[in-house]
């Protein structure tokens, strides 16, 4: 018999782009991708933020892999806030 565990294995805050046409992208980033300081928002997710929506246009490199949430894994090349 197998026991079912409900322990959290890991936790990760990341940026994602969900397009209006159903496109879902998970961004692999480092703080230097965001010169505007927007990376500071990731530290607030576990305390005061629930969801942040920032309209953007982006040029990304898409890998042949998806996240656990069915988002394509991508590396942003250019991200323009609208």
Calpha distance 15→28 (Å, rounded): 8
Rounded to two decimals, the pTM is: 0.70
Share of the chain above pLDDT 70, in %: 82
pLDDT confidence of residue 25 = 95
Average pLDDT over residues 5-30: 82
The pairing of strands 72-81 and 15-18 is unpaired
Are the CB atoms for 58 and 82 separated by under 8 Å? no
Query: Model confidence over 23-63: pLDDT tens digits?
Result: 999 998 876 666 666 767 767 766 777 777 788 888 999 99
Residue that has been written with the tokens 């565990």 in this structure: 5
pLDDT confidence of residue 79 = 83
pLDDT of 72 strictly over 70 = yes
pLDDT confidence of residue 31 = 66
State whether residue 3 is helix, strand or coil.
coil
Calpha distance 71→52 (Å, rounded): 17
pLDDT confidence of residue 59 = 93
């Amino acid at each position: 018999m197998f026991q079912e565990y409900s322990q959290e294995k890991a936790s990760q805050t990341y940026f994602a782009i969900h397009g209006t046409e159903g496109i879902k992208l998970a961004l692999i980033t480092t703080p230097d991708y965001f010169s505007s300081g927007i990376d500071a928002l990731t530290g607030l997710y576990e305390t005061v933020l629930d969801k942040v929506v920032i309209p953007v246009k982006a040029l990304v490199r898409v890998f042949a892999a998806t996240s656990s949430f069915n988002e394509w894994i991508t590396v942003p090349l250019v991200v323009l806030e609208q």
